[in-house]
Amino acid sequence: MATLRLGDLAPNFDAETTKGTINFYDYLGDSWGVLFSHPADFTPVCTTELGTVANYLPEFTKRNVKVIALSVDSLESHLKWINDIEETQNVTLNYPIIADENKEVANLYDMIHPNANETFTVRSVFIIGNDKKVKLTLTYPASTGRNFDELLRVIDSLQLTANYSVATPANWKDGQDVVISPSVKDEDIEAKFPKGYNRIKYYLRMTPQPNK
């Protein structure tokens, strides 16, 4: 399958997980989603990542985001691994891990990159909107753990810019000023952005974050 691109409909699937059999769309419901893959069970970096997401789950929930992990190992292996994750990371793992032994989901989402490894999934990340469309894709090598603070920052930006005519500048964090979209005419800014704005250049106009 061709690589998923931004705006593509995220493929639906049925899968066995550590929380039972799920249908991906049913699992997401009206929520946003983060689907992230792991090269293998009982590996050190993955153990820290899954533990970190467990700790961050309230932050994802606050943003109406459901998380789900994937590895191409078995359900039995996942369940044993969870014990290690909970012990070493001091967490309770209360979100599902997909057991994708036949690699159906991995192939559906192009998570296996043969030039990196012919067998295991790379560290893929898909942020999926509540319209079931792909909003962000990231691919990390097996050796590099992900930055989940960055994923939360991106989700904040995606959810903000989906509802307002703004974009977020470099290194933006929730609560900081944002860029007014070029499609908004100067004469319409006052009505759309009553907090005011700073016109730096005709194409660079900043305004306080509108939903704060």
Residues annotated as catalytic are: 46
The token duo for 156 is 């904040």
Residue written as token pair 């704005």: 197
The answer to whether the CB of 85 falls within 8 A of the CB of 50 is yes
Strands lying side by side in the sheet with 204-207: 166-167, 178-180, 204-207, 198-201
Residues with Cβ within 8 Å of 19's Cβ and at least 6 positions away in sequence, in order, are 95, 96
Distance between CA atoms of 53 and 95, rounded to whole angstroms? Answer: 9
Alpha-carbon span 86 to 97, nearest angstrom: 14
Task: Let me know how long the chain is.
Answer: 212
> Which neighbouring-strand residues pair with 178?
207
